[in-house]
Amino acid sequence: MRLLRILMFLFRLVFGVTFVLSGFFKLTDPVGTGLIVDEYLRVLHLSFLDFGSVAFGMVLSLTEFLIGIAILMCVRMRVASWAGLVMIVFFTVLTFFMALYDAVEECGCFGEAVHLTMWETFFKNVVLTICIVPIFLFRKHFKLVAPIPAEWAFLATYGVLALFCVLYSYINIPLVEYGNFRVGSNLSARLEKISGSDSFETVFIYEKDGRQEHFDLEHLPDTSWRYVSTESVYLGDERDLLFDMTLSTADGEIVTEDLINSEVPVFIFVVLEPDRLSGDYWENMDACMDTITFYGGISRAAVPVMNPVIDSIAAGHPDIGRTMVYGDSKTLVSMLRSNGGVMLIHNGIVVKKWAGWRFSPDDVGRTFRMDTEEITARETISQRLFYESSILLLFLVIIIFRYICGIIYGRKFRGLVARERLRRLKKAARKKRRANGQ
């Protein structure tokens, strides 16, 4: 029995921690999680459902997080073990076929924090399946940690906190970033891994009769094909392509290196969906760009290529139109998750990021009055502190709750057992007396 308890504890620990961290990493970057869901939907030929990718990613991450908490805490084990088994079996089968047919390069199960190939993910899922099966089989033998309402309340509390985290990251910018464009990243060093701007070629993806093909600018298809997206293809050694930040002017001149290596601060307004931004936003961008120019900085509006709204915006705001640079949607969303957000680069370093609705000319002034290295240090420390303290607090609360419930509910349980034992002894004594009396 002792060996079985130790094994069950280890199984719960491995499965619970993996699910908690996987859910947490994806919760802090809901837009990135939505992109992962998009990719799976495309491979499964379910692209018509991509309108709900972000919402589905949020629900999936939240569910995964709460299952991990429940398994780790040993609360609501019957429900948690059922949910955990169904989820991990589904993803084990899915990743096996994805790996077998080489449909997706990376699983995205830990978001941008940890990169695993599909085969690595499949074997990880096999290990988790081995962990959850005995937990499921013995689900009825786990003792209550606390009264049932208290267990549900504990999970609900974690659910509310996780929901706040994911909504904040969606409305604002991710609380923690792990990608190539996170604050503090040295883009100049990454750029050196790429031979030069001539190594890129812009290709256009069109679809017809459910089949997608790539075309270059000189060989575009006829009108019977439907435009899907644009990608920048690297023509050199793909092992050197650590990141993609291909931005070009309307004339096709690539300005990535000039922006990254600029000795003056560069503010890039990243516009993911221009049609969803209000007129007030463009007025604010205009004012911010004027302030940036006043302080001697550089401003650019990074917009998606081949978007019909861009021309009308450039006509209505000529100052913004003159600063526009173009990139494919994947590049822009990798740079910044917030539609209309701002990314500051100085001397090749990502200094800071703002959500579009939180950036104003006053922020420009405050930024120029501070040293960019100090800003970078503050932002990096802030994100790292949040990440480390959140993980530490998460598991610390679990341990404290488990310990307190073990004391309080354990005493109550032992008291109930003692009273039940005493009742049975008294009942046996009465039977014995009646038997002796007869």
pLDDT digits (tens, 9 = 90+) for 84-113: 999 999 999 999 998 888 778 788 888 888
Given a cut of 70, whether residue 347 has pLDDT beyond it is yes
Phi-psi sector, 114: left (phi>0), alpha (psi -120 to 50), beta = beta
Given a cut of 60, whether residue 438 has pLDDT beyond it is no
Same domain, 107 and 233: no
Quote the tokens at residue 185.
């990243």
Same domain, 207 and 345: yes
Given a cut of 60, whether residue 238 has pLDDT beyond it is no
Of the candidates 298, 269, 274, which has an alpha carbon nearest to the alpha carbon of residue 285? 269
Same domain, 351 and 429: no
Q: How far apart are CA 380 and CA 156, in angstroms?
A: 31
Same domain, 335 and 219: yes
The pLDDT value given to residue 237? 47
Range scoring the smallest mean pLDDT among 138-142, 227-231, 371-375: 227-231
Phi-psi sector, 327: left (phi>0), alpha (psi -120 to 50), beta = beta
Q: How far apart are CA 79 and CA 296, in angstroms?
A: 60
| Neighbouring-strand partners of residue 268 | 300, 343
Cβ count within 10 A of residue 73: 24
In the chain, the number of structural domains is 3
Confidence of residue 418 (pLDDT cuts 50, 70, 90): low
Same domain, 138 and 195: no
Cβ count within 10 A of residue 308: 8
Helix (H) or strand (E) holding 206: strand 200-208
Same domain, 392 and 281: no
Range of the domain at 195: 187-370
Tell which of 343, 370, 397 closes a domain: 370
For 84, residues 6+ apart whose C-beta sits below 8 A from its C-beta are 15, 19, 67, 71, 132, 135, 136
pTM of the model: 0.78
Q: How far apart are CA 70 and CA 60, in angstroms?
A: 15
Does the residue 66 lie in any domain? yes
Tell me whether residue 199 is exposed, middle or buried, using C-beta atoms within 10 angstroms of its C-beta: 0 to 12, 13 to 18, 19 or more: middle
pLDDT tens-digit map of 299-330: 999 998 877 788 888 888 888 989 999 988 88
Question: Is 214 in contact with 223 (CB distance < 8 Å)?
Answer: no
CA distances in angstroms from 282 to 309, 331, 383, listed in the order given = 13, 22, 29
Same domain, 224 and 325: yes
Q: What number of CA atoms fall less than 13 Å from residue 16's CA on the CB side?
A: 20
Same domain, 40 and 130: yes
Given a cut of 80, whether residue 243 has pLDDT beyond it is no
Name the average pLDDT for the chain.
Answer: 84
Does the residue 178 lie in any domain? no
- Range among 180-194, 239-253, 272-286 rated most confident: 272-286
Question: Is 323 in contact with 285 (CB distance < 8 Å)?
Answer: no
Does the residue 299 lie in any domain? yes
DSSP annotation of 263: S
Does the residue 298 lie in any domain? yes
Maximum Cα–Cα distance for the chain, whole Å? 111
Q: What is the average pLDDT across 54-71?
A: 93
**Exposure string over 273-286, b if 16+ CB within 10 A, otherwise e:** ebeebeeebbebbe
Given a cut of 90, whether residue 402 has pLDDT beyond it is no
